[in-house]
Amino acid sequence: MNYIVCHYAEIGIKGKNRKFFEEKLINNIKAALNIQIPENWEFVKRISGRILIKLTNKNQRFDVLKNIFGIAYFAFAVSTKNEIEKIQETALTLVKNKEFKTFRISAKRSDKKFPLSSQEINEKIGESVVKNLKKKVNLKNPEITIFIEVTENNAFLYLEKIKGPGGLPANSSGKGILLLSGGIDSPVAAYFVKKRGVETIYLHFHSYPFTSKNSIEKAKDLVKILNKFSPMEKRQKSKLILIPFAEIQKKIVSSKIDERLRVVLYRRFMMRIAEKIAETEKASALITGESIGQVASQTLENIKVIEEAIKIPVLRPLCGFDKEEIIAKAREIDTFETSIIPCDDTCSLFAPKNPKTKANLKIVKSSEKKLNVKNLIAKAIIKSEIVLI
């Protein structure tokens, strides 16, 4: 095997922007591989709607490709000249030491000048495998499939397609502020927007010194894990912004506001602060791990009251997921074990036993009149801390 052939699905149909997406993907692949071997730098290139990676080092590990958004699938391939005799020879060498009885050929021709159609290639190469190796064709359920891709200059042959994560290349769809709590849901929400190419800046509210520093450590660890989905060149890092939230909570508690409204008020403050951060970071949306009806603050009625505090769009990639589904995804992306480490949660500090599931906007707004909202927000932002991970 001397090449990896990477295929991308959706980028192929992005019309005029196709080049932009392809270049992003190439850069992301280079950045991901460069972590391991610097000299591989110039061996990634685009040809005929696919990306080729030249293999130069047998010890290089390519697992990282499984986390690069934009890749539909990839394959370890042998290349040869795009001449039918060469393809025939290569196909025989590729499988002659393999144990199998049945096979099929799956040829694709992206060079339409090639004299044979895909079907004719299938037939021709199939015939030679039957004759030379005494194997049987089985189109429906073969033991092995020989994939052949004919491009302008070369043909690539391989036996296995390895699934990529799909989606759009990291950092190709603008920037969002991801509200990262340290729970199970928000890291999964991060995964899904990243999958669609959104660059994420992480925002974590903590109640230190009223709670321990655990939640901050958890947020850092989660960003570290999520970094595997953002192939970054060495000097770039993810930004995690830490906002102290205890002062705001204390003010809400001491202002004699109906305690059942506390959680909704906390969330309105979080959203306002996140909106301000989005302005400075030039981000276009906020992203949360909310799922409709999961807890009191996530009923549609309360979502409406919370969102009324801001103008910026809020994306909720998990709104239709059940908890079980979110947990399954969290396990798959390796955030689950970190998310379930016990720690005191900001939202549960001074939280009432029976929060309102349908807060009344008028009452919420008049309660906020007892607070100096602007001032509290400004103070929290001044005391914020940026960590690069």
- Asked if 346 is part of the footprint of ligand ATP (rule: CB under 6 A), the reply reads yes
- Asked if 288 is part of the footprint of ligand ATP (rule: CB under 6 A), the reply reads yes
- Asked if 187 is part of the footprint of Mg ion (rule: CB under 5 A), the reply reads no
The distance in angstroms from the start CA to the end CA of the chain is: 36
User: Is residue 73 within 8 Å of 7, Cβ to Cβ?
Assistant: yes
- Asked if 103 is part of the footprint of ligand ATP (rule: CB under 6 A), the reply reads no
Task: Between 35 and 295, name the residue whose CB sits nearer to ligand ATP.
Answer: 295
- Asked if 181 is part of the footprint of Mg ion (rule: CB under 5 A), the reply reads yes
- Asked if 367 is part of the footprint of Mg ion (rule: CB under 5 A), the reply reads no
Task: Between 181 and 335, name the residue whose CB sits nearer to Mg ion.
Answer: 181
User: Is residue 347 within 8 Å of 263, Cβ to Cβ?
Assistant: yes
- Least Cβ distance, residue 66 to ligand ATP (angstroms): 25
Residue whose structure tokens are 């000249």:
81
- Asked if 200 is part of the footprint of Mg ion (rule: CB under 5 A), the reply reads no
Listed residue (376, 382, 243, 253) closest to 309, CA to CA: 376
- Asked if 90 is part of the footprint of Mg ion (rule: CB under 5 A), the reply reads no
- Least Cβ distance, residue 274 to ligand ATP (angstroms): 8
**Total number of residues binding Mg ion (CB under 5 A)?**
2
Amino acid identity for residue 338 in this structure? T
Looking only at the bridges linking them, the beta strands covering 385-388 and 44-47 are unpaired
- Asked if 310 is part of the footprint of ligand ATP (rule: CB under 6 A), the reply reads no
Stretch of residues binding Mg ion (CB under 5 A), selected from 183-191, 193-201, 234-242, 309-317: 183-191
**Residue 272 tokens, joined:** 């306002």
Residues in the chain: 389
Binder of ligand ATP out of 53, 125, 179, 226 (CB under 6 A): 179
**Residue 16 tokens, joined:** 């005029």
- Asked if 290 is part of the footprint of ligand ATP (rule: CB under 6 A), the reply reads yes
**Residue 7 tokens, joined:** 């295929």
Binder of Mg ion out of 142, 167, 169, 183 (CB under 5 A): 183
- Asked if 183 is part of the footprint of ligand ATP (rule: CB under 6 A), the reply reads yes
**Total number of residues binding ligand ATP (CB under 6 A)?**
19
3-state secondary structure the chain: CCEEEEECCHHHHCHHHHHHHHHHHHHHHHHHHHCCCHHHHHHEEEECCEEEEECCCCCCCCHHHHHCCCCCEEEEEEEEECCHHHHHHHHHHHHCCCCCCEEEEEEEECCCCCCCCHHHHHHHHHHHHHHHHCCEECCCCCCEEEEEEECCCEEEEECCCEECCCCCCCCCCCEEEEECCCCCHHHHHHHHHHHCCCEEEEEEEECCCCCCCHHHHHHHHHHHHHHHHCCCCCCCCCEEEEEECHHHHHHHHHCCCCHHHHHHHHHHHHHHHHHHHHHHHCCCEEECCCCCCCCHHHCHHHHHHHHCCCCCCEECCCCCCCHHHHHHHHHHCCCHHHHCCCCCCHHHCCCCCCCCCCCCHHHHHHHHCCCCHHHHHHHHHHCCEEEEC
**Residue 378 tokens, joined:** 């400004």
- Asked if 184 is part of the footprint of ligand ATP (rule: CB under 6 A), the reply reads yes
Stretch of residues binding Mg ion (CB under 5 A), selected from 174-182, 188-196, 269-277, 377-385: 174-182
- Least Cβ distance, residue 212 to ligand ATP (angstroms): 13
Pick one of Mg ion, ligand ATP, none as the site partner of residue 28 (Cβ within 5 to 8 A by kind).
Answer: none
- Least Cβ distance, residue 118 to Mg ion (angstroms): 52
Pick one of Mg ion, ligand ATP, none as the site partner of residue 35 (Cβ within 5 to 8 A by kind).
Answer: none
- Least Cβ distance, residue 240 to ligand ATP (angstroms): 10
- Asked if 347 is part of the footprint of ligand ATP (rule: CB under 6 A), the reply reads yes
Residue whose structure tokens are 């770039």:
236
- Asked if 297 is part of the footprint of ligand ATP (rule: CB under 6 A), the reply reads yes
Task: Between 151 and 207, name the residue whose CB sits nearer to ligand ATP.
Answer: 207
Binder of ligand ATP out of 52, 154, 158, 185 (CB under 6 A): 185
Considering all CA atoms of the chain, what is the largest pairwise distance in Å, rounded to the nearest integer? 88
- Asked if 205 is part of the footprint of ligand ATP (rule: CB under 6 A), the reply reads yes
Stretch of residues binding ligand ATP (CB under 6 A), selected from 57-65, 141-149, 164-172, 291-299: 291-299
Binding to Mg ion in span 218-257, by CB under 5 A: none
- Asked if 142 is part of the footprint of Mg ion (rule: CB under 5 A), the reply reads no
- Asked if 317 is part of the footprint of Mg ion (rule: CB under 5 A), the reply reads no
- Kindly list the residues in this chain that would bind ligand ATP in the complex (CB under 6 A): 179-181, 183-186, 203-205, 288-290, 294-295, 297-298, 346-347
